[in-house]
A and B are shown apart, each in its own frame.
Chain A
Amino acid sequence: MQKIINDPQTVVDEALEGFVKANKHIVEVTDNERVIKSTEAPKKGKVGIVTGGGSGHKPAFVGYVGKNMVDAVACGEIFSSPPAMMFYDAFKEANGGAGIACLYGNYAGDNMNVKMAIEMAKGDGIEVKTVVANDDVPSAPKERLEDRRGVAGEILMWKVGAAKADMGASLDEVIAAAQKTIDQTRSMGVGLSPCTIPEVGKPNFTVEPGKMEVGIGHHGEPGIEVADLEPSKQIAKRMVDLLVPDLPYEAGDDVVVLVSGLGSTPPLEQFIFFNDINALLEEKGLNIYRSYVGDYFTSLEMAGITLTVLKLDDELKQCIDYPADCWGLTQFGK
């Protein structure tokens, strides 16, 4: 295992400690050392934005805690949902009295733990509503949208929900905007090499040399097909051909494009891929309103790339353009 660590059992705790120290201008640790909050949270009268999930996806989830982004996050073990208590503590840390929007991804563990945490919060009179991201197209057919898992589209869901909350929206308005965002978002990825959970000590799946896993999940879940590794242009075409008809996106639509490396695919390759995506989407008559290219949602050191496309309307444009400051995504406006 080629890793710069001290002890496989404490990777999450040590990384979080370092993360908080390095970003003390935007985040701070709470009484629960696995719950990290924005230095500005809780804001009185503002809807609190909470998320959480397994670790190993940096910048997700903790990297999206900050100004006009997520208020508090629950950080589980590598690829494993945080326990209910952690979500509950995150709700309390983000609670400004206007309710909590818990915006997270569709995984069995997270669903159960969030559900139990909401029950716990009821006892404190904290109202929690959820949006469960399900943007990963290859993870289930369109008839079973509710079975799809949440992937990098979650970032755009947080961005919109958090902007809306800062504009003074009510809990229901924040939830509606976040739900609309994920409903209008589609994602998919390809994996070129596996990753290793430090405590397991060996790769969690295999990709033969010269092959790629089409539709891979953020934890190495197998996709829809193992194919020969193709040039970027063809990978881009596969993805666009699957994503565009699924919503569907139509000529004239304004879209946000988010391309993320999965951990060990360098920016050089990411921009080659984006260039191909850009051409294909333009061919279909889509207007790319804004793009994000980088390591936005990774899976430890997996090689591969994901594409996320969000169809915009005026409300979503306003939220996407809203300033935000966190380690994973900083922007000063449009």
Chain B
Amino acid sequence: MSISLSKLSGVVAALNDTIQENKAYLSEVDGAIGDGDHGINMAKGFAIAADATADGSKTVSEELSVLSKTLMMKIGGSMGPLYGMFFKAMADTLKDRESMDLETFSGMISAAKDAISKISPAKPGDKTLMDCLVPSVESLVASVSAGDTLDAALEKMKKIAAEGRDSTKDMVAKLGRSSRLGERSRGVLDAGSCSCYLILETLANQVIAAE
């Protein structure tokens, strides 16, 4: 089963809608152990990118590339470069493609994970977005080998991604600003894993809707 990428046009607008809807939620989660601006900075970056892609003239790869550049060049913080690299890898995977199947989707999320690893030492267990992203990639790779349908694989991934996000609650932060908190970081979700879940969920829903 594969879908035409042209059906995914407007993916950045969809991601922006999700981030704007969850702006206060992300800032609140971040405020518990960070400085409370995660939602604000994400919302700023996604809104700029949504504006720049609003005319619908760009391919999905180009849209994601605009989002990547905006995050890297205009947003900063830790999330700017991390999600900038994340979306750049996705844009690169889809470049010159016209359709997407489960293998493509899996390869795209896997490349996004590898791109983050290039600039951050974060690994599962550190209470970062990797706790959501790494199991999601593993779930997709397993689905490819098992021959799952695209739909089934994406539903599975969403479930695993949510579990990954929730697993950060009981963790002690090892990286980033909240890591200085030690034990005091336990008991709250990691804001990066929450935004990562929202992004994966939205991407999956966009693909499911396009089928």
Where the two chains meet, the residues of A that have a C-beta atom closer than 8 Å to any C-beta of B are 54, 76-86, 107-109, 112-113, 115-116, 139-140, 147, 149, 197, 199-200, 204, 217, 219-222
Contact = CB atoms under 8 A, between A and B. Distances in A.
Interface in B14-42: 27, 31, 35-37, 40-41
A77 B37 CA distance: 10
B181 A116 contact: no
B82 A107 contact: no
Contact of B177 (A78, A140, A219): A219
Most B-side CB within 10 Å, residue of A82, A109, A204: A109
Can you list the 3 inter-chain pairs with the closest CB atoms, starting with the nearest? A83-B76, A109-B78, A80-B77
Given A83-B81, A108-B175, A219-B35, 18 more contacts: A77-B37, A77-B77, A83-B76, A83-B80, A84-B76, A84-B80, A108-B176, A108-B177, A109-B79, A115-B119, A139-B180, A140-B180, A197-B37, A200-B36, A204-B36, A217-B177, A222-B180, A222-B181
A197 B40 CA distance: 11
B80 A109 contact: yes
Given A77-B76, A83-B75, A112-B119, A200 B27 contact: yes
Contact of B72 (A83, A217, A222): A83
B177 A221 contact: yes
Given A112-B120, A140-B180, A222-B180, A79 B35 contact: yes
B72 A116 contact: yes
A221 B80 contact: no
A76 B75 CA distance: 8
Contacts of A107: 177
A149 B40 CA distance: 24
A80 B175 CA distance: 16
B81 A112 contact: yes
Nearest to A223: B180
Interface of B: 27, 31, 35-37, 40-41, 72-82, 119-120, 175-177, 179-181, 184
Nearest to A109: B78
Nearest to A116: B81
A217 B184 CA distance: 15
A188 to B, nearest CB: 13
Contacts of A77: 37, 41, 76-77
A111 to B, nearest CB: 9
Contacts of B37: 77-80, 197, 199-200
A204 B31 contact: yes
Contacts of A79: 35, 37
Nearest to A87: B76
Given A77-B41, A139-B180, A84 B73 contact: yes
Contacts of B75: 83
A80 B27 contact: no
B76 A82 contact: yes
Nearest to B32: A205
B35 A197 contact: yes
A168 B40 CA distance: 44
A200 B40 contact: yes
Contact of A197 (B36, B120, B175, B180): B36
B81 A222 contact: no
A73 to B, nearest CB: 14
10 contacts: A77-B41, A77-B77, A79-B35, A83-B75, A83-B76, A85-B72, A107-B177, A108-B177, A112-B82, A199-B40
B181 A81 contact: no
A84 B81 contact: yes
Given A108-B175, A220-B35, A221-B180, A116 B76 contact: no
Which of A83, A86, A107, A222 lies at the interface centre, i.e. has the most chain B CB atoms within 10 A of its CB?
A: A83
B70 to A, nearest CB: 10
